[in-house]
């Protein structure tokens, strides 16, 4: 009898973890964690969890600041380096917009085409603005697709305002978007998905307050390059 009870106990010890693991596995598949919290803090200047929380709350609301107020908050001086390009938007939907080169195509379809050689990185030009010493993209979905494919942008275009120029729309849009990121560009993009929002209402991925289905980071080699850039800039200050 004692042996029988012991066998039952041993079986339960093996079965109970199996009942608990599936949710944890699902969470791991949803949130990709290629870089550590410490690296994120160093490169982005903010705690990763706090940054995500800000982007999923403040980042879903419109910005009311004037152009002058936005300009006063950031250093827009251009630099001579070619450090990796950062994301500049709180989150992104998993499809391209109806206009542009890839109307309504899913990001993952563009990734498939890139990996298959049907598209090359030159087909996804990346415009950026210099903000506080970092290259911050305006084309967040294009950069997300490239980074999802593990590729680097090859058409990188500086659209930062130069001294004496009036603000252009791209610079203003980048600065407004950064307000939804606590003023900090990021090495990762939060990609929205259909599902239940924080308000308990069903959302589509097109809604700014939709849940996050995936997190896309800079490829590891670019993270290493960004760290090197950060150290170089720190040594020259």
pLDDT for 105-134, tens place per residue?
A: 999 999 999 999 999 999 999 999 999 999
- Report the residue count for the chain: 237
pTM of the model: 0.82
Q: Would you say residue 14 lies in a domain?
A: no
- The answer to whether residue 69 is domain-embedded is yes
Residue 24 lies in a domain: no
75 is a domain residue = yes
Indicate the number of domains in the chain: 1
Indicate the average pLDDT of the chain.
85
Question: Per the structure block, which two tokens stand in for 153?
Answer: 């942008």
Q: Which residue has the higher pLDDT, 198 or 15?
A: 198
In a domain, 30, yes or no: no
Nearest residue to 131 (alpha-carbon basis) of 183, 62, 166: 183
Question: Is residue 17 included in any domain, yes or no?
Answer: no
Residue 39 lies in a domain: no
Q: The domain containing residue 102 runs over which residues?
A: 50-235
CA distance 215 to 177: 18
The whole-number pLDDT of residue 169 equals 83
H runs (alpha helix) in the chain: 2-30, 37-44, 48-55, 67-72, 107-116, 140-148, 169-179, 220-235
Residues 54, 64: Cα–Cα separation, whole Å: 17
- Judge whether 21 lies within some domain: no
Contacts of residue 227, Cβ cutoff 8 Å, sequence gap at least 6: 39, 42, 43
Q: Which residues of 74-94 are buried (b: 16+ CB within 10 A; e: fewer)?
A: bebeeeeeebbbbbbbbbbbb
The model's pLDDT over 174-221, given as tens digits with 9 standing for 90+, comes to: 999 999 999 999 999 999 999 999 999 999 999 999 999 999 999 999
């Amino acid at each position: 009898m004692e042996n029988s009870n012991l066998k039952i106990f041993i079986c339960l010890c093996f079965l109970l973890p199996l009942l608990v693991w599936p949710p944890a596995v699902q969470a791991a598949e949803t949130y990709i964690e290629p870089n550590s919290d410490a690296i994120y803090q160093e490169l982005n200047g903010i705690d990763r969890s706090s940054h995500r929380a800000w982007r999923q709350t403040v980042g879903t609301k419109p910005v009311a600041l004037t152009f002058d107020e936005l300009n006063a908050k950031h250093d827009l001086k251009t630099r001579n380096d070619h450090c990796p390009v950062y994301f500049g938007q709180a989150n992104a939907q998993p499809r391209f917009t109806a206009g542009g080169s890839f109307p309504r195509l899913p990001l993952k379809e563009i990734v498939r085409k890139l990996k298959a050689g049907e598209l090359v990185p030159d087909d996804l030009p990346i415009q950026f603005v210099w903000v506080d010493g970092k290259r911050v993209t305006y084309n967040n979905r294009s950069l997300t697709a490239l980074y999802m494919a593990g590729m680097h942008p090859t058409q990188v275009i500086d659209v930062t305002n130069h001294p004496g120029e009036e603000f252009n729309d791209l610079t203003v849009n980048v600065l407004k978007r950064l307000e939804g990121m606590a003023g900090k560009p990021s090495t990762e993009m939060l990609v929205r998905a259909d599902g239940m929002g924080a308000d308990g209402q069903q959302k589509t991925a097109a809604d700014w307050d939709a849940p996050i289905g995936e997190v896309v980071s800079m490829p590891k080699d670019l993270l290493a390059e960004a760290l090197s850039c950060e150290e170089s800039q720190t040594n020259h200050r």
